[in-house]
Structure 1
Amino acid sequence: MARSSPLRLLILGGTTEASDLARAVAGDARFAPLLSLAGVTRRPLPQPVPLRIGGFGGAAGLAEFLRAEGIGALVDATHPFAAAMTRQALAAAAETGTPLLRLERPPWRPVPGDDWREHATPEALAAALGPAPRRVFLTVGRKDLAAFRAAPWHDYLIRSVDPPPAEALPPRARVIVDTGPFAPEAELALLREARIEVLVAKNSGGTAVAAKLAAARALGLPVHLLARPAAPPGLGAVAEAGAALDWLARRHAGTERGA
């Protein structure tokens, strides 16, 4: 019997989960994958599947790309805070009838010993630090740094994958450019050396940068987290690449049956 054609797969990436899925489908004859990155990170890691970099031009542009490339399945594995891209993926999938799955790691949950508060906006995070000067470990990403310029009396230790633009930085800031994963003992040493009094982060989930939370717990530090945006209604989601692969296998099987 003749082999069925591979399922054309578009992975919207930029996360560990997207890379995990790319490795899972690489070399699998059932799939013809393409991994798409927004181009935000200056030096993306090598990937085991074909790669495209850059935006699509909104939902309409993504829909046109899905049609032009004959994409048979779309996996949105963008960052949990890339809400605009997720909305565009949902709209483009609906317009073109493309099966869509969201691959998203679970958020962090507090455990005994944690002193956590969640806030809806970066501005609320900055305000929550209070009027008294504090030493802040700030790990919210480049796009949300500007909100902390409204609280210039704090001393900020900022860690970012790429150097933030100078105009986004609060005045009393020191920047560390680094990429996880980070070891627990190194995070603990960093917080002690910098005499950090409060940790501010996004509730990104995952393990690569979770060690800072354990370090804050060990030191009894308060943690202020930016809450995740609400997921669009009607969007199916899984938490691991293995579950996404199972979903893709079912899509491929449906293609083989002529579905």
Structure 2
Amino acid sequence: MHVLILGGTAEARRLAELLTAPAVPGRTVTSSLAGRVAAPRLPPGEVRIGGFGGAEGLAGWLVRERVDVLVDATHPFAGTMSFHAAGAARTAGVPLVALRRPGWEAVDGDDWRSAGSLAEAAALLPSLGSRVFLTTGRTGLAAFTGRPELDALWFLVRSVDPPEPPVPRRMDVLLDRGPFALDGERALLAAHRIDVLVTKDSGGRATAPKLTAAREAGVPVVVVRRPPVPDGVPVVAGPEEAAHWVTGRMAA
């Protein structure tokens, strides 16, 4: 049996661990990484890096490699890849499940503003602060450029790899990879005099301490809503649940 995990997340790595240990004769687990991070943390099992060439290319790969189960464990904001996976699974007749960590939920004391896109998030910033902690990754930074009111802001951009232009006019880059500790996030907000935070609703614990630090400091947070999972695709919330779903399909 062959399982393909569309990965790049901590949950995808954990799922690969669950499906490869202990080893099961005749079971192949392949994790596919997009290749956007220079030095990714590789999961156990087989690994392929790079795109498939859209839904059609992925469908062809599923057929050629005799994939029995497909797991979309990509980042919650990898919306295009999720729709490609859904289309490819239909074409190839392969069962598909989406592994999505739950989104964050505001608690008492949080000052959150919801945005449907990076552009909407950028439009909110001038009324909220002038020193922005931008934790949306190295792509999409063009949304925070090109307008005088945005050029007047200062941005601290945190990402795993260096961002490429176009980027905000006034910007410092912090290269770092989670998980992040609460004490470190508190110190970062204070040292850079951050007065507004921008994040995607990625969920999970690895990067959640920034939200606690912002709440404690009274810093407003702009939260970009995640795109929907394609219609008809079942969703599980954790690697253990995904592993149970996969093994159930393999035993059928």
Say whether the fold is shared (TM-score over 0.5). Answer: yes
1:190 aligned to which of 153, 165, 188? 188
Contact kept? 2:129, 2:196, Cα under 8 Å: no
Paired with 2:174 and 2:81, the residues of 1 have a C-alpha distance of 28
SS in 1 for 2:246: helix
Q: Structure 2 matches for 1:164-183, cutoff 5 A? A: 164-165=163-164, 167-183=165-181
Question: Please, which moves more after superposition, 219-228 or 27-36?
Answer: 27-36
Contact kept? 1:133, 1:155, Cα under 8 Å: no
Please tell me whether residue 19 in structure 1 is matched to residue 13 in structure 2.
Answer: yes
Structure 1 residue 162 displacement after superposition: 0.5
2:24 aligned to which of 2, 20, 29? 29
Structure 1: 4+ residue segments shifted above 6 A: none
**Alpha-carbon distance change, 132 to 75 in structure 1, aligned in 2, over 3 angstroms:** closer
**2:216 aligned residue:** 218
SS in 1 for 2:126: coil
Please tell me whether residue 105 in structure 1 is matched to residue 101 in structure 2.
Answer: yes
Residues 76-100 of structure 1, C-alpha deviations (whole Å, 9 max, x = no match): 0000000000000000000111000
**Alpha-carbon distance change, 132 to 115 in structure 1, aligned in 2, over 3 angstroms:** closer
**1:163 aligned residue:** 162
Please tell me whether residue 145 in structure 1 is matched to residue 124 in structure 2.
Answer: no
Paired with 2:138 and 2:46, the residues of 1 have a C-alpha distance of 27
Paired with 2:117 and 2:37, the residues of 1 have a C-alpha distance of 23
Structure 1 residue 25 displacement after superposition: 0.9
Contact kept? 2:178, 2:206, Cα under 8 Å: yes
TM-score (norm 1): 0.93
AA aligned opposite 1:59? A
AA aligned opposite 2:43? Q
**2:85 aligned residue:** 89
**1:127 aligned residue:** 123
**1:72 aligned residue:** 68
Paired with 1:200 and 1:14, the residues of 2 have a C-alpha distance of 22
AA aligned opposite 1:12? L
AA aligned opposite 1:155? W
SS in 2 for 1:19: helix
Contact kept? 2:28, 2:46, Cα under 8 Å: no
Contact kept? 2:6, 2:72, Cα under 8 Å: yes
Paired with 2:117 and 2:137, the residues of 1 have a C-alpha distance of 13
Residues 95-127 of structure 1, C-alpha deviations (whole Å, 9 max, x = no match): 111000000101101011100011011111111
AA aligned opposite 2:156? L
Structure 2 unpaired stretches of 5+: none
AA aligned opposite 1:45? R
Structure 1 unpaired stretches of 5+: 1-6, 255-259
2:46 aligned to which of 47, 50, 63? 50
SS in 2 for 1:143: coil
Q: Name the % identity.
A: 47
Paired with 1:62 and 1:243, the residues of 2 have a C-alpha distance of 24
Structure 1 residue 133 displacement after superposition: 6.0
TM-score (norm 2): 0.95
Task: Work out the number of aligned pairs and report it.
Answer: 247
**2:202 aligned residue:** 204
Tell which structure's C-alpha radius of gyration is larger: 1
Contact kept? 1:138, 1:201, Cα under 8 Å: yes
AA aligned opposite 1:252? M
**1:249 aligned residue:** 247
Residues 225-251 of structure 1, C-alpha deviations (whole Å, 9 max, x = no match): 111112211110101010011111111
RMSD: 1.1
Paired with 1:243 and 1:121, the residues of 2 have a C-alpha distance of 30
Structure 1 residue 131 displacement after superposition: 5.6
AA aligned opposite 2:24? A
